[in-house]
Structure 1
């Protein structure tokens, strides 16, 4: 009898990232890279995993103090990168088993995970 997971693989479902099997990390990493590349803005998502998240730009205020830009103040490209940073972390978390997730859930950046 075919399980639901096997049926989804046969049918070609791609709405869930591959799950990590602890003894097969290299294989999982490769499959995750392909999964991320296949998402909308996949190259940007994968770049975020490999090189770290967007370093948010700063602005100088009238009183000569600096602060990070808010999301609203980012350019369209910077917003896309910030969104990709969230997506990559979410994808990696979804591909982890519960016991592995418990070890790394305090990280907020996919590269650290």
Structure 2
């Protein structure tokens, strides 16, 4: 039986992710992956979920290693940091 939530996902409602139900983890996982992939930068979101958060790039200056400044990140790294 198709629920109202399933119909909303199929129709493209993207105002909230699908709800997890105790006995429906497998289908929920599939729906969450589809939900994430249909968001802007979906592949990066899904990779962050699967592989953990972005490891902030570092830079070495004068023998001191520090995190790279946000303004100096590449476009892809900045987008991933924002996610």
Q: Structure 2 length as normaliser, TM-score? A: 0.79
Q: Give the direction of change, closer, same or farther, for the CA distance of 1:24–1:50 in structure 2 (3 Å limit).
A: same
SS at match of 1:22: coil
For residues 23-56 of structure 1, what are the alpha-carbon distances to aligned partners after superposition, in whole Å with 9 as ceiling and x for unaligned?
A: 2111111100000000011111111111122211
Unaligned runs of 5+ in 2: none
Larger relative CO (CA 8 A, sep 6+): 1 or 2? 1
Of Structure 1 and Structure 2, the greater helix share is in 1
The alignment status of 1:83 with 2:77, answered yes or no, reads: no
Question: How far 1:16 sits from its partner (Å)?
Answer: 1.0
SS of residue matched to 2:24: helix
Structure 1 counterpart of 2:41: 41
What is the root-mean-square deviation in Å for CA atoms of aligned residues?
2.3
SS in 2 for 1:40: coil
In the alignment, which residue of structure 2 is the partner of 1:90? Answer: none
What SS is found at the alignment partner of 1:23? coil
With the length of structure 1 as denominator, give the TM-score of the two structures: 0.60
Offset at residue 61 of structure 1 (A): 1.9
Aligned to 1:50: 50
